[in-house]
Amino acid sequence: MSYYLLLSALLFAIGLYGVLSRRTAILIFMSIELMLNAANLAFVTFARNSGNLEGQAMALVVIALAAAEVAVGLGIIVAVFRARSSTSVDDLAELRG
């Protein structure tokens, strides 16, 4: 169990580093997905260790949430790319009114 949790923490740390250090929106979304998958791994690990299905059910909810987030996020990124010809997060700060 400890190896799976260590792997989950490592994946989450890599995703957090990616969110904090990257400047393009696509790479930030990929890092967020990595963090969500790390949380899923922890949920499934705890569910398997305790013998109930609550962690696996929560992992399914997180997967559905991630799919919705990707659909909306990629739509926004495509719209911004068409308007600005760039997916840089620094360019998005200029869109504030």
pTM comes to 0.82
Phi/psi at 96 (5° precision): -70, 145
- Please count the structural domains in the chain: 1
Looking up residue 31, the CATH number of its domain turns out to be: 1.10.287.3510
Which domain range does residue 50 map to? Answer: 2-95
Please state, in angstroms and rounded to a whole number, the distance separating the CA atoms of residues 62 and 46.
15
Per residue of the chain (97 residues), give pLDDT as tens: 889 999 999 999 999 999 999 888 889 889 999 999 999 999 999 999 888 888 889 899 999 999 998 899 888 888 888 887 877 777 666 666 5
Contact 19, 31 (CB under 8 A): yes
